[in-house]
Structure 1
Amino acid sequence: MAPYASDDSTTAGEVDEQRSGRRKAARYVVPVTVMGVAAATIGLVPALADSGDPDLPKITAQQLIEKIAKSDVQQLSGTVKISTDLGLPDLGGLESSLLSGAASQGEGGSSADPTAKLTELASGTHTLRVAADGPDRQKLSLLENAAEYSIIHNGKDVWAYDSKSNEVHHGTAAESGKESGKENGRDQQPPATPKDFAEEALKAADDTTSVTVDGTAQVAGRDAYKLLIKPKQSGSTVGAITVAVDAETGTPLKFTLTPAGGGSAVVDAGFTQVDFAEPAASTFDFTPPKGAKVTEEKASEERAFEKKAFEEKASEKKAFGKAEAREHAPKSLPKSDEDLGKGLDGMKTIGEGWNSIATFDTGGEGVPSGKDAGELGGFMDSLGDKVTGKFGSGTVFSTRLVNALITDDGKVYVGLVTKDALVKAADAGK
């Protein structure tokens, strides 16, 4: 063990001074989709085990955070291994179908559409090759069995190629989901590198967070400091987050999130090989292979027009059969997606820090359960746990990280907290 340690602890207040504009990184989803969508907001894979324990100059947590913030690595290439173990219920492959199926049902039906393809990072173990040369040229390749999926951003062009189906998806940087975020109505893609994960974790730092330096490590042949981020409060499902930070460049090399309940990491993502030299210009060249099906991404104006037309048609259908549909609607589900939408609009957050809980009212009657709900009720019972309290009764859907409670009267509580914490929040809300 190298003679290295640091007792220095940086509170959220100090961290905030160094990195203004941090927001809490709490991303919540409707509980009944916890087993699928929650994973997509976290997506990762285990890197090779750390080796060595380099003797590096002492550094405080605040200095290390500053080092990450000042890191301006524009050029790199390497291999990243990502592993995710959220402890999702076994749906016989249904969750994977739901996540990836959007690709064939989305715009143009292209299996190469990155909107759905990268959700595969939400579970299992994956190997990625990454390369970057400034803000206008990046490449990410997902290596699969005898196949490869790549996204190439070169100037204004964004290409996505699926070698398995020999399909190509083409858009522009202004239109791509990764570049424009939610401007075109799409969610951002899941994080794919240790830096992505580290930035999200640091956004969550506040007065409820302990941030310390926890020694050193060697990752992908590079000397690194280990930044340890832990909730100060009890009741969170998050045990600790460790970020290995390159001692020379300040680039996060590995990210590990362990649950409070113990066991293997929920998320483990790290470089197994990294090079900070300029990648060859040819790395970012792409020409659709001969015979490949090429799908052009629609312009935002065209998508907006189609969306409006679809909504108008859907509204007409609802108006025509509204009374009959309500009469035959399952008793324990929201009577319309409009009810659910109103609930999301009224979402609020209770608690603070890692114990924050998002809550809203679906406008429905909770989750189908018991014999009266038939096969659907039995299926939902198998996925969740029935709970009771001052609030009445409800169902908790759990993963190793995200838990969600839906009460029988349609109220929803979601957070990175324990089942008991959700019940307590529901009781306080009565």
Structure 2
Amino acid sequence: MAESRKASRYIVPVAVAGVAAATIGLVPALAASGDPDLPEITAQQLIEKIAASDTQTLSGTFRISTDLGLPLDGLTSGLGSLAGGMGGAGGSSSADPSERLTQLVSGSHTLRVAADGPERQKLTLLDGSDEYSLIHNGDDVWAYDSKSKEVFHEKAPAGADAPGAHEGPKGQELPGTPKQLADEVLKAAGDTTSITVDGTAKVAGRDAYQLVIKPKQSGSTVESVKIAVDAANGTPLKFTLSSVEGGKPVVDAGFTKIDFSKPAASDFTFKAPEGAKVTEGGAEKAAGEKSDPFGGQLPGGLEDAFGGFGPGADSGKGGVNVIGEGWTTIAKIDSGAPVPRTDEAPKEFQGLLDSFGDKVTGAFGSGTLFKTKIVNALLTDEGKVYVGAVTKDALVDAANAGK
């Protein structure tokens, strides 16, 4: 979706720079046969172009395909059995975005999007004849599920575009101009990443440059990240994340149609249909806090582990140790207690674990490996967790070294 000038200068460049931690390749773009013939540009110039983008309005159609390599049939079956054994969650609205948008993590989906600055955005997920719409208009956020005829409403977070809202980790102000962005990326450059411009492409009828980000380290599960950038205005049009395992991209998301003119104001208005069930987000959140034993946080330091994972993470925070650097960073978490034997767990939970966990052994002892095409995690029988966008061998080596 489109961002305001401030959002464009902060969010998009930081997404690129955060993945990079980077060495900027100064290789010019060369047009391949059939691709648009555009002026040569370096990776540094292209990053500056993204940072300078002031796109605030757009509408179009977006296609996203996700293949994490999860055994979804077994996982879905296990989760269903587990939920049934626990009596189900109950009480939530089918229009709640936190519930509904999770389906984007698998399969292919088509969405319509529209944006008019930082105050108005709309996303509609198409599923056959049914639609799910999420609308932000000023102080209100509405969600509507046409299949169940349920509505979810809550107030937009206060100060969403206030000073400091786009701060980086540990409250550091993020670079705000193209030159500052390039300087910060170059300052953080190391030997772990290659960033180049590799040819051009047509995306949604627009001429685009291809920004390619690749790890130089062995042991990472990431093969490459490719971002198609609009040659005229610097707006990212397509994002592709590929795994070293090959096959379909882990994430392939991009516009199939796009129009940068201002959408009609009526696109962002919403009135709950007569007879629809309306759930207020504030009330649901309060009810959830009463029944949530973790107070909205993951137990055992996992919140800190996944919130601060990656280069530059605080290795002493929340009982998390960070091993390695760059693309092969591994977070180590010690629960301090052995893992209960799975054969003593409820049969529903055993089925869930068996659906996507593999037993592994090494000098560290034994444990269970949970795999996707990108992020893998090793849970040892002693209660230690090793997680990262790294291969199985890299996790086992880390566990052996930490024995």
Aligned to 1:134: 117
CA distance in 1, matches of 2:43, 2:82: 38
Structure 1 pair 350/69, CA: closer, same or farther in 2 (3 Å)? same
Aligned to 1:122: 105
Q: 2:334 aligns with which of 347, 361, 366?
A: 361
Q: Structure 2 counterpart of 1:250, which letter?
A: G
Is contact 1:343–1:361 with CA below 8 Å preserved after alignment?
no
Structure 1 pair 429/214, CA: closer, same or farther in 2 (3 Å)? same
CA distance in 2, matches of 1:100, 1:153: 32
CA distance in 1, matches of 2:83, 2:61: 24
CA distance in 2, matches of 1:252, 1:235: 28
* 1:357-385 residue CA offsets vs partner (Å, 9 max, x unmatched): 1110123323645x676855576345322
Partner-residue secondary structure (3-state), 1:91: helix
Alignment of 1:92-171 (within 5 A): 93-94=76-77, 105=89, 109-171=92-154
CA distance in 2, matches of 1:338, 1:78: 40
Aligned to 1:238: 222
1:109 deviates by 2.2
1:94 deviates by 3.6
1:402 deviates by 1.1
Q: Structure 1 counterpart of 2:279, which letter?
A: T
Q: Structure 2 counterpart of 1:349, which letter?
A: V
Question: Is 1:267 matched up with 2:248?
Answer: no
Alignment of 1:22-101 (within 5 A): 24=18, 52-89=34-71, 90-91=73-74, 93-94=76-77
CA distance in 2, matches of 1:140, 1:280: 14
Q: 1:213 aligns with which of 187, 194, 197?
A: 197
Q: Structure 2 counterpart of 1:162, which letter?
A: D
Partner-residue secondary structure (3-state), 1:414: strand
Is contact 2:74–2:356 with CA below 8 Å preserved after alignment?
no
Alignment of 1:187-206 (within 5 A): 206=189
Partner-residue secondary structure (3-state), 2:74: coil
1:146 deviates by 1.4
Q: Structure 2 counterpart of 1:293, which letter?
A: K
Q: Structure 2 counterpart of 1:411, which letter?
A: K
TM-score (norm 2): 0.74
Question: Is 1:253 matched up with 2:237?
Answer: yes
Name structure 2 gaps, 5 residues minimum: 1-9, 21-31, 166-180, 306-317
TM-score (norm 1): 0.70
Identity over aligned pairs, percent: 60
1:399 deviates by 1.1
Structure 1 pair 269/303, CA: closer, same or farther in 2 (3 Å)? closer
CA distance in 1, matches of 2:70, 2:277: 35
* 1:172-194 residue CA offsets vs partner (Å, 9 max, x unmatched): 11279x999xx9xxxxxxxxxxx
Structure 1 pair 413/114, CA: closer, same or farther in 2 (3 Å)? same
CA distance in 1, matches of 2:200, 2:344: 57
Aligned to 1:389: 362
Q: How many residues align?
A: 340
Aligned to 2:265: 281
CA distance in 2, matches of 1:51, 1:164: 46
Q: Structure 1 counterpart of 2:277, which letter?
A: K
Q: Structure 2 counterpart of 1:58, which letter?
A: E
Aligned to 2:394: 421
Is contact 1:55–1:216 with CA below 8 Å preserved after alignment?
yes
1:342 deviates by 10
Aligned to 2:26: none
Structure 1 pair 261/179, CA: closer, same or farther in 2 (3 Å)? farther
Q: Structure 2 counterpart of 1:130, which letter?
A: V
* 1:284-323 residue CA offsets vs partner (Å, 9 max, x unmatched): 1111111111112217xx956973x557xx69xxxxxxxx
Is contact 1:24–1:353 with CA below 8 Å preserved after alignment?
no
Is contact 2:203–2:237 with CA below 8 Å preserved after alignment?
yes
1:111 deviates by 1.1
CA distance in 1, matches of 2:352, 2:264: 52
Structure 1 pair 98/135, CA: closer, same or farther in 2 (3 Å)? farther
CA distance in 1, matches of 2:302, 2:223: 33
Q: Structure 1 counterpart of 2:395, which letter?
A: L
Structure 1 pair 224/24, CA: closer, same or farther in 2 (3 Å)? closer
1:93 deviates by 2.8
Q: Structure 2 counterpart of 1:112, which letter?
A: A
* 1:54-97 residue CA offsets vs partner (Å, 9 max, x unmatched): 00000000000111111120000000000001110132634786
Q: 2:276 aligns with which of 292, 300, 313?
A: 292
1:99 deviates by 12
Question: Over the residues paired in the alignment, what is the CA RMSD in angstroms?
Answer: 3.7
CA distance in 1, matches of 2:234, 2:391: 34
Question: Is 1:226 matched up with 2:210?
Answer: yes
Structure 1 pair 296/343, CA: closer, same or farther in 2 (3 Å)? closer
CA distance in 2, matches of 1:246, 1:100: 45
CA distance in 2, matches of 1:149, 1:353: 38
CA distance in 2, matches of 1:293, 1:259: 42
Aligned to 1:29: none
1:410 deviates by 0.6
Aligned to 2:25: none
Q: Structure 2 counterpart of 1:267, which letter?
A: V
Is contact 1:171–1:296 with CA below 8 Å preserved after alignment?
yes
Is contact 1:78–1:273 with CA below 8 Å preserved after alignment?
yes
Structure 1 pair 339/70, CA: closer, same or farther in 2 (3 Å)? closer
CA distance in 1, matches of 2:267, 2:344: 59
